């Protein structure tokens, strides 16, 4: 094969092997041209929920291509987008009455930030500050990077990023410090919004915190009339054990971002849901108060159809039972590592399990990271550690036997990490 011209994401081409070519996907597996089957333990970057190529979603996409491709969404609409908006407002926490479409998790966050700033400007009380949580990650566009943790991901782009106020991650036993800092940030009523990943911080290391803290953060935000943005791009669609993570805290955010599992992982689509108050602040005979945002493929009909089919899967198949079973199986298997000194921490949240290996140099650029990835791939397992944090976030169709394979491999990998250290 000739040299590839493809520049891959989050890939240092100088030190990593050529990308493995995948010819087919099926259920929990990726297959190469020569028939090698790789167990997708991270749902292909957290997007695949029910399993690759779910028949109902694939069939819906095929049918949609017979009548529609792309339709400009300024001044025009179509039935898949209308039906999906109705379905999303019914499924998400109460009070999210309006749906704005985009095409990725990062853009859904950009939309949320612009909605928040536009809201306060249009009601005649401009606010410009954004409050974020330490270790957060919200995407790789400029606004999304600005509200994410500063570090190796975005150091080169620092001149482009706007300043934010940061509250500490609510470490167990020190959650009050987080809430006190949040109150201090919001006291002067100049913050437009706080944006957080509910319950689990994904790229920040699969860090978890309790629903009670999430509920308290929402209460503090409400007290200062600061908008609460829930980035449910990763945590939504069952990953933490409920359809959306906010449900576990009993809260309704002012703005909710969703993508990844929205189409079951089949095709790109995102949505930002907002309250009626936010929509009304942009509703005016004054055209300067228009919400000025779009992408060329906003509300793509085929993607909307895929999302509708995904919702139908949720309605007609025992998805919550599969999620409960997977959560239980993860918890049962994680017990084998309790008290194991090779791990500095073990974290569980619904279907997600994360294992922090005790190494001399931790963090995203930990030297053990690429070695672990190569080790798992040699075992025909797609596991992509966040540095020294090995995590499992498999599709809901994964079996007990497949999880056993994964946990046996983690056991062996932990010994490898100790030997390397």
Domains in the chain: boundaries: 58-316, 318-420
- What is the reported pLDDT for 251? 98
- Positions in the chain whose pLDDT score sits under 50: none
The second-level CATH assignment, the architecture, of 318-420 is Alpha-Beta Complex (3.90)
Pairwise CA distance, residues 324 & 303, whole Å? 28
- Classify domain 58-316 at the CATH topology level: 3.40.640
Q: What angle do CA 136, 236, 177 make, to 5 degrees?
A: 35
- What is the reported pLDDT for 238? 98
Pairwise CA distance, residues 217 & 196, whole Å? 10
How many other C-beta atoms can be found within 10 angstroms of the C-beta atom of residue 404? Answer: 12
Pairwise CA distance, residues 383 & 406, whole Å? 9
Pairwise CA distance, residues 270 & 258, whole Å? 6
In which element (H, E) is residue 316 found? helix 301-316
Nearest alpha-carbon partner for 393 in 351, 336, 357: 351
Pairwise CA distance, residues 203 & 201, whole Å? 6
End-to-end alpha carbon distance in the chain? 37
Relative orientation angle of helices 319-334 and 400-420, to the nearest 10 degrees: 40
Pairwise CA distance, residues 11 & 278, whole Å? 39
Give per-residue pLDDT as tens, 186-214: 999 999 999 999 999 999 999 999 999 99
Q: What DSSP line would sit under 72-135, residue for residue?
A: --SS---HHHHHHHHHHHHHSSTT--EEEEESSHHHHHHHHHHHHHHHHHHTT----EEEEETT
Classify residue 182 by burial, with Cβ atoms within 10 Å: 0-12, 13-18, 19+.
buried
Nearest alpha-carbon partner for 202 in 235, 168, 157, 227: 235
- What is the reported pLDDT for 419? 67
What 3-state DSSP class applies to 289? Answer: helix
């Amino acid at each position: 094969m000739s040299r590839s011209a493809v520049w891959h994401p989050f890939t240092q081409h100088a030190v990593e092997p050529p990308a493995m070519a995948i010819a087919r996907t099926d259920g929990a597996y990726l297959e190469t041209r020569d028939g090698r089957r790789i167990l997708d333990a991270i749902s292909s970057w957290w997007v695949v929920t029910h399993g690759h190529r779910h028949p109902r979603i694939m069939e819906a996409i095929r049918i949609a291509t017979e009548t529609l491709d792309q339709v400009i969404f300024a001044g025009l609409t179509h039935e898949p987008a209308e039906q999906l908006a109705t379905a999303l407002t019914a499924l998400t926490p109460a009070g999210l009455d309006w749906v704005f479409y985009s095409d990725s998790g990062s853009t859904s966050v950009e939309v949320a930030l612009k909605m928040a700033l536009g809201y306060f400007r249009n009601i005649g009380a401009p606010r410009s500050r954004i409050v974020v949580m330490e270790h957060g990650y919200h995407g790789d566009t400029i606004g999304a990077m600005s509200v994410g943790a500063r570090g190796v991901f975005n150091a080169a782009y620092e001149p482009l990023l706007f300043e934010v106020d940061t509250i500490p991650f609510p470490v167990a036993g020190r959650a009050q410090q987080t809430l006190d800092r949040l109150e201090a940030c919001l006291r002067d009523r100049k913050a437009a919004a706080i944006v957080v990943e509910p319950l689990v911080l994904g790229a920040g290391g699969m860090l978890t915190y309790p629903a009670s803290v999430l509920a308290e953060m929402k209460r503090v935000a409400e007290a200062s009339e600061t908008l609460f943005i829930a980035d449910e791009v990763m945590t939504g669609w069952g990953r933490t054990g409920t359809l959306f993570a906010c449900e576990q805290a009993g809260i309704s955010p002012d703005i909710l971002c969703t993508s990844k599992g929205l189409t079951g992982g089949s095709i790109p689509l995102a949505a930002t849901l907002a309250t009626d108050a936010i929509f009304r602040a942009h509703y005016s005979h004054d055209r300067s108060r228009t919400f000025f945002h779009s992408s060329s493929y906003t509300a793509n009909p085929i993607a909307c159809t895929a999302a509708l089919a995904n919702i139908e899967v949720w309605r007609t198949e025992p998805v919550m039972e599969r999620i409960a079973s997977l959560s239980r199986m993860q918890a049962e298997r994680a017990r084998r590592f309790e008290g194991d000194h090779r791990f500095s921490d073990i974290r569980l949240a619904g279907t997600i399990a994360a294992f922090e290996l005790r190494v001399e140099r931790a963090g995203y650029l930990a030297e053990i990271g690429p070695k672990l990835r190569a080790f798992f791939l040699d075992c025909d397992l797609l596991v992509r550690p966040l540095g020294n944090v090995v995590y499992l976030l498999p599709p809901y169709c994964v079996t007990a036997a497949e999880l056993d394979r994964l946990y046996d491999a983690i056991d062996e990998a932990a010994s490898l990490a100790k030997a390397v250290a």
